[in-house]
Structure formats: C-alpha cells, structure tokens
Structure 1
Amino acid sequence: MSGSDDRALIDRFLEMLRAEAGAAGNTIAAYGTDLRLASHALGGGLSVAGAAELERLAGAWQALASSTVARKSAALRRFFSFLADEGFRADDPGQALPRPGSVRPLPKVLTAGDVERLFAAVAERMAREPADPLDLRLLALVELLYGSGLRATELVSLPRNAVAPDRPYLILKGKGGRERLVPISDRARAAVAAWRDKVPAASAWLFPSGKGHLSRVRLFQLIQALAGLAGIPPDRVSPHVLRHAFATHLLEGGADLRALQAMLGHADIATTEIYTLVDSRRLVELVNARHPLGEALSEARVDAKPGRA
C-alpha cells in the first residue's frame, strides 16, 4: 500500500470522526497530525502496519509526556478499529500500542426511560398522515440497534433477506471475520418485515441508498434527529450508544456475561466487562440517592464538619 493510500484512508477516517462521532475540531486536528506523522515514520505504510511495526513506532515516543503518548495511541487504535470495521483490513493490531496510565472510560448509557422516549417519538412519526415509508425504516433501524446490539456497519450493510420472518436470529460476520449468532426479537422481525415490503425486490440491501446501502454517517444523523424529537440531547445518543444500552440493560436484567460477549461479538471478555462497571456505578448512585442509609450517611458527614456542635 502506498503513502497515497494512507492519506486517502486517514482522510476517510477523519471525515467519519467529523460526521458520525461528532468529534471536536481540536481532536480531529490532533488525530490527523498524529496519524500523518505515524504514516511518515512508517514510510507510508501505516494502513498495513503490523504489531512489530507499531511497537517500533511506539519506541520512538519514549521521551514524550504520557498524555501525548496516550493521545497518539488512542488516535492509532481508533484508526485501526475503523479500518477493520470498514473491511480495509481483516485484523486490528491496535493492541500492540501502549496505554500509559489510561483508564478506560465508561460508555455513554441511556436509561430505559430514554429508550421508551425514543420509541414513542418513532410511534408519533408513524401516526402521521400521510404515512411516510421512511418511518418504517427508522423503526426497523432502532429496533435492530437496541434489540440486537448491532454495530452501525453491521446494521447498514445487512442483506435484504438477512432477517427471516420465521427465524429469531441472524448470523453476522463482524470484526476480524468472526461469525456470531445474534437474537432478533419478535418486535424487530415485525418492524423489518414491514419495512422490507417497501424495499425493491431487486435490492441487495435491507437498507438501500443510491447505488449501495445506507451509510454509517446517515444512520448517525437519523438517530440524532430522533433523539431531538424525543427531547433527549442529541449528543447523548448515537448508534453505538444504543448498542451500549442493549448491553447494559441486558446485564441489568441478569444476562450472563459470556452470553453477552457472544452477542456483542467481543473477542476479549475484558471488553464486555466494562458493562459490569456501568451497572455497578448505577447501583451505587441508586443507593446514594434512594437508600435511607445513604441519606443518613450524608447527614452524618454534614454534622461532622468543623464548627458543628
């Protein structure tokens, strides 16, 4: 792969950050600089670099501040994840990059009430006269994101007949070409069937758009617009946040961590375990806010302040 290939893929990645992830301008500029410097250091071969090349690259960062190394590593890891998601490479070598003093952030989550408001906003749109077939598409998208935890790329690229009316699951090929079985709820199958009736029979895709399928950027825009209609700040909602909600709410309902790992398609259960931290945080907040003992402890802390008799 040539340096020009690196440049083209870096540009596509930055455009995705700008349009889909809503990243700040400073973040996009910093990531762009880090990726171009890394590409130059590897002779234009960043896109095809393996673990050994990345380890050598990271060795040149030893004199840098840990915060700078963390940012560079984050930029490259996200870039390689993008390449794997988009099918530009079959593996993700990002694990070879250092993580100096990093604490993995907890994913954004939506409450069950937030999700109900999203579905209520879809129902309100579907009740309009005259009916708009694209509202059927929106319902199918949201049902599959929240009901099955699909990644955005997996969702928009579903073949037209991927969801069968008599089969409560589908088989997906996700990151690294790994196949997994994903359960499909009765609601989601009904929503997909209603939308599929509007899709041209000749279409290869369940969610066609132009000569291909719906883009991830357009999916992101649709979900954010729906959040606004539901009265939820749009920056709190994205296709990936709905995937997080699927995982978190299943875990809260007693789902087994290994089963959740399989449904999400995580190669490492450590990735899935982040949701146990989300659940623990929610429980702590609940105890502090609602439990009588939590209130008593708060009063005791106030009474113990200096100067209180």
Structure 2
Amino acid sequence: MNNQDLIISFIEKIKAEDGLSINTALSYQKDLELFAIFLTTNHHDNFFITTQIIRNYLTYLDHQGLASSSISRKISCLKNFYKFLLQEKFINSNPAFELERPKKTKKIPKFLSEEEIFKMLEIVNSDQSEFGIKLSTMLELMYSSGLRVSELVSLKISDLNFENNQLKNYLLVKGKGGKERIIGLNKATLKILNKYLLYRQAIGLDQCKWLFAGNFRSSKSKKVDEIAKKKSSAQNHITRQRFHSMLKELAIKAQIEPSRVHPHVIRHSFASHLLNNGIDLRLLQELLGHSDIATTEIYTHIMNNKLKQVLEENHPLALLKM
C-alpha cells in the first residue's frame, strides 16, 4: 500500500471504530498528508521511518511557528496512526511510541459582555427577513445552551422533541466522541424556535431534515412568497463558515468589532456569564459536554475576578477608610 492508501485506511478505521467526529478525522487526514509531503521532500518514500525522523518533523513544525496546541494534535495523530500501522502489522515497532506532547498553555477564553450579547439579540430579533429569523434562532440557541458550533449547524429536525404537537423544552445532542447530552431550552428560546419552525415551513423547507438548511444564502427579503419560490430541496446544513459570516454582519450592525465575534466566542460567553452568576463548575462541565473538568477550568478566571470583587466590596478591612 502507498502512503495515501495507508492514510485512507486509517481514517476509515477511526471514523468507524473510534467514534471520532468528521471534523477530527479530516484534521487527522490533513495532518498525515502534510507529514507525507515532509517525508517526500526529505527523501523518504514511505511512513516506515525512525523516531528521529519524526522528531525532525516536529522540530520543523516548531520552527514554522506552530502553536503548542497544534503540534500536540499532530503528535496525537502520529501516535494513533503508528499504533494503527503496528496493529495491522505494516510495521514491527512503533517509532511514535515515545513521543510526548508539549504542555499546553492555557489561554483565557475571549467572550463578549452580557450587554453586547443582548444588543446583538435585540438587533437581530427585529429583523423579520429569513436571514434575521434564522440568525436570531441560531444565536439564541447557542447562547442559551452553550452548543458547540458543529453541534448547532448539524442539528436535525429529528433532534427536536414534540408532545401533542408542542415543542418540548429540551434537545438530545450528540457531541464530541459521539457522546449524547441533554440541552435545556428556556422559554425565550422555545418561543423563537417555534417562530422559526413556522417560518421554515412557510418558505418550503419543511421536508429538509436539517434544522438550519444550507445550499443557499438566506434571503433578506421579508416577503414569504418571494423566498418560497427559491427553495427546492436543501440537502446540506448551513456551514460553520456561513454562520460565522452572518455573525460578523450582525456585529457590524451592533457596532462591535467583527474580529471579536465568532461562534466559539458565543459559547465562551455562555460559560463565562453563567460562572459570573454563580453556577457550579461541575454543572457547567455537564452543560458544555466536557469529558474532563480540567477543560472547564479555563473559565475559572471569571470566578477569581468575581471573588476579588466580592472581597473588595464586602470584607471589613476593605471597607476601612485609609
């Protein structure tokens, strides 16, 4: 088998057996293809190499200025790939076995203030075009639940739960690693979601399996008849990139720097605002779908700032006039 055949076999295995998401599988495939190019450039025709050659590749990546998190992912990819080659008996020893991932530097997540989120919601909720109704529903849903962008854009109609034709107040979503979790829907989110479902039906998307259909740009026309004529069969869901672009348009209208607004910032804002209002870290872990509490702990800077404020405002020594 040549290099590309080995890559494809590995990707098919991790998708079928390991339950990795499509995005992770695509990232691994790209990582391995770039690694293969490096090997070819350095006169190695295949993946059957020594540990030192892999270390040379990692040194090359470091000199390219890659972040430690990116290098860590590539190491994880190589370790899994060579483990696969060993299990399938393509190699007799694993050259990636002793590789260690660099320590990750924890970055404080960027988020918007509550006022900025409310300003964006106020503006988009007043837009009664398809663009406005779709974006307001997606933004409301993401901010009220903390969904990952990949989870949001790939929601299906079948993920919604109904009882006597009434939308129930929760979703069952499948997150990273195929893990399912329950997402609660508050009254405001239910209201706007019901409005969107009616509008979605009116413009001819009731047969589409995706909650947020793709394949076309959302119309900014407010005339339902004009929009409905453009809709045929939408086979794909809206992309993350399109949602990101829609958020940037909204940010400009809200007079917020567009570079500060992207889907993951909305999720960060959800987590940060909940912590700021006193939610337990373990509960937040469940809401975000983190398998490891350490991942959720990146938000504890909010708790630290809040505790500092409480001490400054309430401790007897802080109240003394100096």
What is the TM-score normalised by the length of structure 1?
Answer: 0.65
Q: Does residue 226 of the first structure (1) align with residue 242 of the second (2)?
A: no
- The one-letter code matched in structure 2 to 1:144 is L
- Aligned match of 2:269: 245
More off after superposition, 190-199 vs 259-268: 190-199
1: CA distance, partners of 2:53 / 2:190? 47
- Aligned match of 1:134: 131
2: CA distance, partners of 1:141 / 1:236? 18
1:44-83 per-residue CA deviation (whole Å, 9 max, x = no partner) reads xxxxxxxxx9xx589615994996598364224567999x
Structure 1: stretches of 5+ with no match in the other structure: 8-32, 44-52, 83-95, 127-131, 301-309
1:197-226 per-residue CA deviation (whole Å, 9 max, x = no partner) reads 222221101101122110010011111111
The one of 141, 145, 149 aligned to 1:144: 141
Q: Could you say if the C-alpha distance between residues 136 and 288 of structure 1 is closer, same or farther in structure 2, counting changes exceeding 3 Å?
A: same
- The one-letter code matched in structure 1 to 2:145 is S
The one of 71, 75, 94 aligned to 2:70: 75
Q: Could you say if the C-alpha distance between residues 80 and 192 of structure 1 is closer, same or farther in structure 2, counting changes exceeding 3 Å?
A: farther
Number of residue equivalences: 244
| Pairwise CA distance, 1:179 | 0.9
| Pairwise CA distance, 1:257 | 1.2
User: What does 1:1-309 correspond to in 2, within 5 Å?
Assistant: 2-3=3-4, 37-40=34-37, 60=55, 64=59, 68=63, 71=66, 73-77=68-72, 98-100=101-103, 102-126=104-128, 132-164=129-161, 165-199=166-200, 200-210=205-215, 211-281=235-305, 284=308
| Pairwise CA distance, 1:169 | 1.3
2: CA distance, partners of 1:296 / 1:39? 67
- The one-letter code matched in structure 2 to 1:124 is S
- Between the aligned residues of both structures, percent identity stands at 32
Alignment check: 8 A CA contact 2:282 2:293 kept: yes
| Pairwise CA distance, 1:123 | 2.8
Q: Could you say if the C-alpha distance between residues 108 and 180 of structure 1 is closer, same or farther in structure 2, counting changes exceeding 3 Å?
A: same
Structure whose alpha-carbon radius of gyration is higher? 2
| Pairwise CA distance, 1:232 | 0.8
| Pairwise CA distance, 1:279 | 3.3
- The one-letter code matched in structure 2 to 1:160 is I
SS of residue paired to 1:209: coil
Alignment check: 8 A CA contact 2:271 2:284 kept: yes
Q: Could you say if the C-alpha distance between residues 79 and 263 of structure 1 is closer, same or farther in structure 2, counting changes exceeding 3 Å?
A: farther
Structure 2: stretches of 5+ with no match in the other structure: 9-29, 41-47, 78-98, 216-234
Alignment check: 8 A CA contact 2:214 2:236 kept: yes
What is the TM-score normalised by the length of structure 2?
Answer: 0.63
SS of residue paired to 2:172: strand
